[in-house]
Chains A and B, each alone.
Chain A
Amino acid sequence: MIQPNTTEVAFGLPAQASTLAGAYDTLFLSLTALVTFCLVLIIGAGTYFVYRYRWRGGEHNVVEISHNTTLEVLWSVVPLFVVMGLFVWGFKNYMDQLVPPKDALEVRVTGKKWKWTFEYPNGAQSADEMAVPINKPVKLIITSNDVLHSFFVPSFRMKMDAVPNKYTVMWFQPVLEGPQQVFCAEYCGTDHSKMYAQIKVMQPDAYQKWLDAHAPVNDSDPIAHGKSLFEIKGGCNACHAVKSAAEQPQPVIGPRLYQVFGRKEKIQGQGEVAVDDNYLRESIENPMAKIVEGFAPAMPPFKGRFTDKELGHLIDYLKSLK
């Protein structure tokens, strides 16, 4: 969780952490000046007229004015030019915000209930946090594994939806070192409001160290590989706890997987089932087949997401949770 910003711009706009945030704020503050002017003019005139021409009893003295063509043309045409100016300015900034430079670092971002995962060109992987080098353009290629999400970074003044079976693009060039808060902005269910991530903006050497620390886990060690699949590729730990209730009280959206192997689960409408390899595989690939009592049928099917070898390693990891 990021500390509250101490360098807010105005009206609560967060600190400007990207190259384009400044241009955004200039437009925002200019429009705010214009809006304030219009508000004072309209509400001021209205309030003054109400006060000045209020009925004080007796005869109603009014001056009938049915229309005034000059005035009406004026207040139609002048706003038209003003909003067209706004439109052009907004469109120009929009294109700057949307079209990434050619040399940008490409990172793949995947949203899933309720986790963001990241994959770097050299294979480095992470969940819930990503690192980027300061002052270098970064291009995010965003998609989703299940429902719509939206990758929102207020300090970059930018968001982009994550759409399943489609890639969307967002880019930024960070200028402030330190963590930047990421929210999910498109409603996605139970833990939508906990789908946070952080973008850690780092100096190049620290960034390199971070990349090394997040190098992909190779599949020579099944349990370590399975753990990586569980946490990053599957994002399973968004809903399933892997330690005892005392050590890890949350999350409890899905069944706790601590000591899961070999225990007996009560299945809704089907009696008891002993957890073995086949049960685990079925519960990953087609979770709706057997719903454990006390839980909502909320898990998306992962069929096709893992290879046979990966499934084996995942199950090995689950067996290791003792």
Chain B
Amino acid sequence: MTQYTPSSSEPGQRPPSFWNSSHGLSSWLFTLDHKRIGVMYLAFVWFAFMLGGVFALLVRTELLTAGKTIVDPDTYNQLFTLHGAVMVFLVIIPSIPASLGNIILPIQLGAKDVAFPRINLASFYIYVIGALIALYSIFSGAVDTGWTFYTPYSTTSNSSVSTMVLAAFILGFSSIFTGLNFIATVHRLRAPGMTFFRMPLFVWALYATSVIQILATPVLGITLLLLIAERVLHVGIFDPALGGDPVLFQHFFWFYSHPAVYIMIVPGFGVVSDLISTFSRKAIFGYRAIALSSIGIAIVGFLVWGHHMFTSGQSELAGMIFSGLTFLIAIPTAIKVLNWIATLYKGSIVLRTPMWYTLGFLWLFTIGGLTGLYLATMSLDLHLHDTYFVVAHFHYVMMGGTMFAFIGGLHYWWPKFTGKMYSEKLGNWACALAFIGFNLTFGSQFFLGVAGMPRRYYNYLPQFEPLHQLSTIGSYILGFGFFLTLVCLLRSLKSGTDAGDNPWEATTLEWKTSSPPPLENFLGQPTVDRGPYDRAAGGGH
């Protein structure tokens, strides 16, 4: 709770919301308002999410039978590559930070905008350019390397690898710009009285994410440039035929891409921390532990990339160090999960749509996290590496984790930035279908992997067919669930009831301003004198 008195509290005298503060297409295309930029990001991320989802459903449909079902092997290889590349670079990485973070982070800090609004807009346009180049690559000989672009396959493939890699390179800058902005905003634009330990955990999580984005993304950029240099100029870096080393590419790639999975999941931790406190109607348990464990994960996350290479012929000593450090990451992650569970204890748990997504996240992420232990155990990884077990683990963390947190957060902040409340019933149905479909799709894949089914297979042996079919049926339910989510949210724009300023009785600053907020978020300067989740009416610590 905070000291914030709007200069005018009469609804009739409220200033126009950021949706109505200016009009016309150019007022959106050239906007510097973080909320409008966030909304545009949100629209593009959802578009990309649907595109990546269609690719995924085509992949699953092909796998319905052991032989050919709908497409030939080369098309299948392109489909799973595009699914991975679109979902990672266009959906998951920008999902929470660039859309929800952009809209909410400055308001949670009591700021008028991010520190560099023009860089924020540039980040959006760079994202759009990168996305268009990625789309173009689909029509100019779709890339078939897998989203990991492993050499020497990627340096010798005849598909449009260079175009897709260029897109990923450009998208990296969009990610860096957003991270840069958030770090500066957190350091410079906090409201008076908002110390670091009074920041909401969503802000802490985005802060940790931004640090990783700024430090790791340039490495990806360099790696991708080297790849292009090799393909176009035939400089021998990774291709042994030119005197290079293919395993070097894996080191470079995972030096970015392992921290990148924390770029993807840590914002989800932030969303869930805020939501679990709000819907338990009590302060989060172990605030400092959750805040600092994000930073811990960000640091150790840089030192574990070699666990992707236990079977690459990497030295046993290196493998041992990477395995040990990987296990260390389990600790801050476990701390978070246990703190969330402890927050539920003796709370007053209000089961609304965002909370159902949060609980879905908790269950799925716990499974995703615990199955990571198998892969961190070097011996067990020798059998499970590059099988469906890895696919299942990755999706439990990235989709069950990040995407459930993203959609939960979207339902949570939707009434704030649109001013509209969606149908609770439809929201619950969509969440339930996604949860059931998700577990059918990916739960079955753990068993496929244990039985020895390798990933990225167009054909498979007949004994794997029943589990593959279960997985495919699950994917249709999952896809339908997410489609209902979109219907639920979009329908509320037309027929939703007015949400009110604080429908969830939440405590953080964004709920103190009107829904939707005005152009510069607050009418006066809010000040802060207590923690973010403090519900005590008369203050207290």
Interface of A toward B, CB cutoff 8 Å: 1-2, 4-5, 8, 11-14, 24, 27-28, 31, 34-35, 38-39, 42-43, 45-46, 49-50, 53-55, 60-68, 71-72, 75-76, 79-80, 83-84, 86-87, 89-98, 146-148, 150, 152, 154-155, 157-161, 163-169, 181, 183-194, 296-298, 300
Contact = CB atoms under 8 A, between A and B. Distances in A.
A288 B282 CA distance: 68
Nearest to B535: A64
Contacts, number: 261
A42 B452 contact: no
B348 A60 contact: yes
A86 B341 CA distance: 25
A13 B383 CA distance: 10
A49 B379 contact: no
Contact of B282 (A64, A147, A296): A64
If over half of A's interface residues share one DSSP class (helix, strand or loop), that class is named, otherwise mixed; here it is mixed
A46 B344 CA distance: 7
A157 B452 CA distance: 9
B158 A66 contact: no
Q: Among B280, B374, B379, which residue has the most Cβ atoms of chain A within 10 A?
A: B379
Interface string B362-400: 110011001101101111101101110000000000000
A148 B287 contact: no
B341 A46 contact: yes
Given A42-B341, A55-B349, 15 more contacts: A24-B379, A31-B377, A42-B337, A42-B366, A72-B335, A89-B377, A90-B376, A90-B377, A94-B379, A97-B382, A148-B152, A160-B311, A167-B313, A185-B387, A193-B456
Contact of A79 (B334, B344, B456, B457): B334
Q: Among A12, A150, A300, which residue has the most Cβ atoms of chain B within 10 A?
A: A12
Given A42-B341, A53-B349, A64-B283, A152 B452 contact: yes
A76 B152 contact: no
A83 B373 contact: yes
B280 A94 contact: no
B380 A148 contact: no
26 contacts: A1-B461, A11-B450, A27-B377, A35-B374, A53-B348, A55-B348, A64-B283, A72-B339, A76-B334, A87-B327, A91-B378, A92-B379, A93-B378, A97-B379, A147-B152, A154-B383, A155-B452, A159-B385, A166-B247, A183-B452, A185-B386, A185-B454, A187-B145, A187-B146, A187-B153, A189-B153
A79 to B, nearest CB: 5
Contact of A43 (B323, B366, B383): B366
Contacts of A193: 73, 454, 456-460
B346 A53 contact: yes
Nearest to B351: A54
B540 to A, nearest CB: 9
B320 to A, nearest CB: 6
Interface string B317-358: 001100110011011001101110110111111110000000
A89 to B, nearest CB: 7
A164 B74 CA distance: 23
A178 B247 CA distance: 35
A19 B330 CA distance: 31
Contact of B454 (A12, A184, A296): A184
Contacts of A161: 311-313
If over half of B's interface residues share one DSSP class (helix, strand or loop), that class is named, otherwise mixed; here it is helix
A158 B382 contact: yes
B348 A61 contact: yes
Contacts of B157: 189
A256 B9 CA distance: 81
Contacts of A43: 362-363, 366
A39 B376 CA distance: 18
Contacts of A72: 286, 289, 335, 339
Contact of A65 (B247, B316, B345): B345
A192 B535 CA distance: 58
B463 interface: yes
B150 interface: yes
A167 B285 CA distance: 52
Q: Among A55, A184, A300, which residue has the most Cβ atoms of chain B within 10 A?
A: A55
B435 to A, nearest CB: 13
Given A66-B285, A159-B386, A12 B447 contact: yes
Nearest to A75: B338
Nearest to A296: B158
